Amino acid sequence: MQANVQLGELTTLRIGGTPVRYLHPRSVAELRSALAECRRDRLAWRVLGGGSNLLVEEGLLPYAVIHVCAPGFDRIRRPAHAVIGAGAGVPTARLLHYCRDRGLGGLEFLAGIPGTVGGAVAGNAGAWERHVCNAVRRLRVLRPDGRLKTVRRAALRCSYRHLELDGSVVVEAEFQLEPRSTELIGAQMNRYARQRDERHPLGVRSAGCVFKNPPGSSAGRLLDLCGLKGTRVGNAEVSRLHANFIINRGGAAAEDVLRLIELMRRAVRRRFGIELELEVRHWPGRSKAA
């Protein structure tokens, strides 16, 4: 356990307060102990991975944060010719390069998406009509009661940008991949990364896409049609490149981002009658229910 950990230093948006307890397990045994500690002390808890796609409020947060990352949970293995097992703490970029170098394709669409394997699986990350859960062969998860469980693909309950885990923590994901040439995989990764570079604001303080795409439409397009690019609340700004991104221009508060989110949601509701649903995860502070 570490004290005074600022989550603003661990999230891509660079906003966030201090959890009442910060736990950084380095093995399944330590993760099991962390969950037992939270149960014993009756602490609500949340799992942190790479810190992307996350808005955390400031101040003292009324829950523990369990950080599943490296060191620990960062092993990659190859149990079968076209199967790769990756720990929840493996950065997605590292996994993609590992697969490319071994001629195993199927995850190239993740190129340029930040975060870790655990976060990508839990959020069913995707792009260009592809979703990470489609490539999952099975998961190893730790139940809240400390039991280690294997969940096979047929039992996964996946939906758009979500995987139902019932409170379990992803420990490892196994992916069923396809043998392909390293040149083809590399070219596809470069193409996806280049398209992301052209369309998304990179190298800035952002949590990625703010809203999920509504059925049959694009949240970014709807927000753009509302003329919201460049709109600011405090130091939070709607990206001038992609209207479904909010950028922390430096010193933005969570309240600035939340007010901007509501302004964006209200504009789309008024013009199109569509209620946008958050894709970014919101961790509230002490004044709101944890």
Instruction: State the catalytic residues.
Output: 161, 209, 279
Q: What is the DSSP letter of 191?
A: H
Count, in order, helices (H) and strands (E) of the chain: 6, 20
Angle between helices 92-101 and 182-199 (to 10 degrees): 150
Q: Is 212 helix (H, G, I), strand (E, B) or coil?
A: coil
CA distance 101 to 49: 25
CA distance 198 to 200: 6
Is the CB of residue 84 less than 8 Å from the CB of residue 177? yes
Dump strand ranges (E) for 100-253. 104-105, 126-127, 130-131, 136-142, 148-152, 158-159, 162-163, 169-176, 178-179, 206-209, 232-233, 236-238, 245-248
- Where do runs of H (alpha helix) occur along the chain? 28-40, 92-101, 117-122, 182-199, 219-225, 254-272
CA distance 278 to 197: 23
**Residue 29, token pair as written in the block:** 């045994």
Helix (H) or strand (E) holding 67: strand 60-67
User: Comparing C-alpha atoms, which of 289, 290, 278 is closest to residue 46?
Assistant: 290
* Beta-sheet pairing, 206-209 with 178-179: unpaired
